[in-house]
Copies of this chain bind each other. A is one copy, B any other.
Amino acid sequence: MTDESYTQYFKLSMKFFEGHRTPIQGGRVRKVNKMNKTLIGVMGPGDGATEDEMKAAFELGSLIAREGWVLVTGGRSAGVMDAASRGAKSAGGLTVGILPSKVARDVSEAVDVPIFTDMGQARNNINVLSSRAVVACGMSAGTASEIALALKAKKKVVLLKLNQESEAFFKSLGGDDVVVAENPREAVDAVKKIIGA
């Protein structure tokens, strides 16, 4: 490619996302839209997750993928994080895992995009800030921190498979920003409503 043609190519490409049709995609002419995808978080227990919670998480992940959303989890190869990611991959979705560690150990193999924070549990705040809405599936200290951080950031949270004390507490804490769902289908419908999809 000559330098002149490269400059021309570059300038055209810079227009790529400005709503113009682009002539540079292998000859195909197509309308390009804004790329930022919708990320939905699923948070829940790791090693202490029950089979019931993991089953729900798997289905959640699958339904989230079917909506065309990107799944965000804590990324570890354990519990709800892992099951939700597997569910999303089983439906052909894209999965992001935001990890507490700095090395690729203990990462769910169902995570496409592992983000290594080396921040321990402070990464929980990144999980919720990166999610348009958060579904909590089951309860643990880490999950409780994620729900609380989401409410602090004015994010809406859908609760699934929480025990009575947990539900009562987070409803008293979050008011209308907290929605209780009976099953994964209801949870995803609640997310749809939250994000206006």
Q: Does B169 contact A107, Cβ atoms closer than 8 Å? A: no
A140 cross-chain contacts in B, Cβ below 8 A: 152, 173
Count of chain A residues near B, Cβ 8 A: 71
Q: Does B34 contact A109, Cβ atoms closer than 8 Å? A: yes
Bound CA span A130–B126, Å: 14
Bound CA span A121–B145, Å: 11
Taking a contact as CB atoms closer than 8 A, the residue among B13, B121, B166 that contacts A87 in the complex is: B13
A17 CB, min distance to chain B CBs, angstroms = 5
Q: Does A13 contact B58, Cβ atoms closer than 8 Å? A: yes
Identity of the chain B residue whose Cβ is nearest the Cβ of A32 in the assembled complex: B89
Identity of the chain B residue whose Cβ is nearest the Cβ of A77 in the assembled complex: B17
Taking a contact as CB atoms closer than 8 A, the residue among B25, B86, B153 that contacts A16 in the complex is: B86
A7 cross-chain contacts in B, Cβ below 8 A: 55
Identity of the chain B residue whose Cβ is nearest the Cβ of A75 in the assembled complex: B36
Bound CA span A32–B52, Å: 25
Can you give 11 contacting A-B residue pairs, CB < 8 Å?
A: A13-B58, A24-B90, A36-B112, A94-B113, A113-B113, A117-B126, A121-B152, A124-B125, A141-B173, A166-B172, A169-B169
10 tightest Cβ-Cβ pairs between the two chains A and B: A169-B169, A145-B148, A144-B148, A141-B152, A122-B125, A118-B120, A116-B129, A122-B122, A141-B151, A165-B172
Residues of A at the B interface (CB closer than 8 Å) are 6-7, 10, 13-14, 16-17, 22, 24-25, 34-37, 39, 54-55, 58, 70, 83, 86-87, 89-90, 92, 94-96, 98, 102, 104, 107, 109-126, 129-130, 139-142, 144-145, 148-149, 151-153, 163, 165-166, 168-169, 172-174
